[in-house]
Amino acid sequence: MNLIFFLLWGYIMIIGAALGSFLNVVASRLPLGMSLWGRSRCDSCHQTIKWYDLIPVFSYLFLRSRCRNCKHPIPASHFFFEIITGALFLFWFYRINWQFTYEHWLLLVLILVALAIGLADYYYQVIPDQLLIVFLIATLLLRFNVLHIFLLGSLLIAFLFWMINHFSHGTAMGYGDVKYVFVIGLALPLQSLLLAIYLAFLTGGIVSAILILLRKKKMKSTVSFGPFLSLGFITALCFLI
């Protein structure tokens, strides 16, 4: 029985890592207007990557983080994102106690889209409208009966973000962040929304300070805020369930 339980959890984590691999494709291609369905290629030599070199987590380790053909380094973000997605997938199923309700599936969709949004913003400092639309559709399906209650808080927070964007001329906050926090506000009650925003600013401030101390960033450098909004949203959502 314990072996079956262990294998089941391992299977769930592998599925999560595979979804993380796909989300990485979405995040890296969508902002560039590329098709999501083409074969994966090395960014350096542009050779098509074989299927056995696309196995989540294991291929990265087996290839020692380098392309099989040109030996160009594979970004470590691919590996860590698959690990994080797999672990998060595992935690989510544990958190909902195997209760596969309509609401839980929609919440899982929101989590996956939030991960893709955060990664896309990390890569290109762009939050694709296509992902925001998917997030909005899932939110409308999830909150259609209480949408009028969540709308006021969503508009208020989005307006505050817009003010930051407007008066900083986009240097402190991008317009994509304004749109993103608006749809997040539709998905969370006000208390959870405030928690998500607090965590986003807290983690964003800590990471920015560390990057400045390590001289990876300057005081006037911009740091993508989307990943921190995604982190805050997912954390607040896990507390909510």
In angstroms, the Cα distances linking 91 to 56, 88, 94, 241 are 18, 5, 5, 12
pLDDT given for residue 220 in this prediction = 62
pLDDT given for residue 232 in this prediction = 97
pLDDT tens figures, 32-56? 988 888 778 877 887 888 877 788 8
Q: What Rg do the C-alpha atoms of the chain give, in angstroms?
A: 19
pLDDT tens figures, 97-142? 878 888 999 999 999 999 999 999 999 999 999 999 999 999 999 9
- What phi-psi label fits residue 169: left (phi over 0), alpha (psi between -120 and 50 degrees) or beta? left
Q: Are the CB atoms for 87 and 16 separated by under 8 Å?
A: yes
Q: Is the pLDDT of residue 230 over 60?
A: yes
pLDDT tens figures, 166-197? 998 878 888 999 999 999 999 999 999 999 99
Q: What is the DSSP letter of 54?
A: -
pLDDT given for residue 42 in this prediction = 78
Q: Is the pLDDT of residue 241 over 60?
A: yes
- What percent of the chain is modeled with pLDDT above 70? 98
pLDDT given for residue 59 in this prediction = 86
- What phi-psi label fits residue 174: left (phi over 0), alpha (psi between -120 and 50 degrees) or beta? beta
pLDDT tens figures, 69-99? 888 888 888 889 999 999 998 888 888 887 8
